[in-house]
Amino acid sequence: MDAILTFHSIDDSGSVLSYRPDDFVALVESLLEAAVRVVPLTTLLSDAPSTDDRVAITFDDGIRSVRTAALPVLARHRLPATVYVVSQWTGRTNRWPSQPASAQTFDLMDWAELAELRDAGIDIASHGVTHAPLDKLGVKELQAELVDSKRVIEDALQVEARHFAYPYGASNPVVAEAARGVYASAVTTHLAFHHAADVPHLLPRLDAYYLQGAWARRRLFGLVSRARLRARGWMRTVRAGYSA
């Protein structure tokens, strides 16, 4: 079974976008102890279906604590990850225009810090130019968010930006088709395990918000964790709907 895990910030602030550093260590160690393979997102998506349990680790927004708190853990175990960055907001904060006023403010990595992650084997991907919800944009603005962010990342870091994360998980058939023309994959906020039959530009992920505390030490692919996460995914779909 496969899963794509979503993190934002690795810190002790307690915000809805935060995951405690101790929990991150515990989660990584629990995966390794359970012989779960941590693989690059590209590998998870391109390989033939595997009998092994596998995860791809992803971080949204490019928050600075990924470098200070997560990178040392990943580097210690030589584990890959993908970081989705907002190209126009690197080196600033996450106070982009669409950000709710109540959201926690975080510092974002600059290009030098992102280059450090790149050199450590972390894949740098796109989260748009301005983190705008793409389903609210016209065709021209949508293309700019997809194409310009890719170009800026590739020019700044001299790497191919192959993957995309929809800001706020906002997508629809027009947005997904546009993303398909630019990126190899695009991830959503739909809470579910990954399956080989998933549409490459509407990929589900498991939000680490539901893997905190004692759950960080549970077997991710165990029956209890799988049942709990599936129930959470169903409740999220019922409450908010899922834009496919």
Average pLDDT in the 211-223 region? 81
Name residue, tokens 């102890």.
33
The per-residue pLDDT for range 102-138, each reduced to its tens digit, is 999 999 999 999 999 999 999 999 999 999 999 999 9
Kindly report the average pLDDT of the chain as a whole number: 91
The stretch 215-223 carries a mean pLDDT of 78
Per-residue model confidence as pLDDT tens digits over 150-174? 999 999 999 999 999 999 999 999 9
- Total number of residues shown for the chain: 244
What's the CA gap between 239 and 224, in Å, rounded?
Answer: 23
DSSP reduced 3-state for 234: helix
Instruction: Look up residue 127 and give its two tokens.
Output: 């989260």
pLDDT of residue 196 exceeding 90, the answer is no
Considering only 58-67, 158-167, 186-195, which range has the smallest mean pLDDT? 186-195
Task: Look up residue 31 and give its two tokens.
Answer: 């995966």
Q: What is the 3-state secondary structure (H, E, C) of 124-181?
A: EEECCCCCCCHHHCCHHHHHHHHHHHHHHHHHHHCCCCCEEECHHHCCCHHHHHHHHC
- Average pLDDT of the segment spanning 58-66: 98
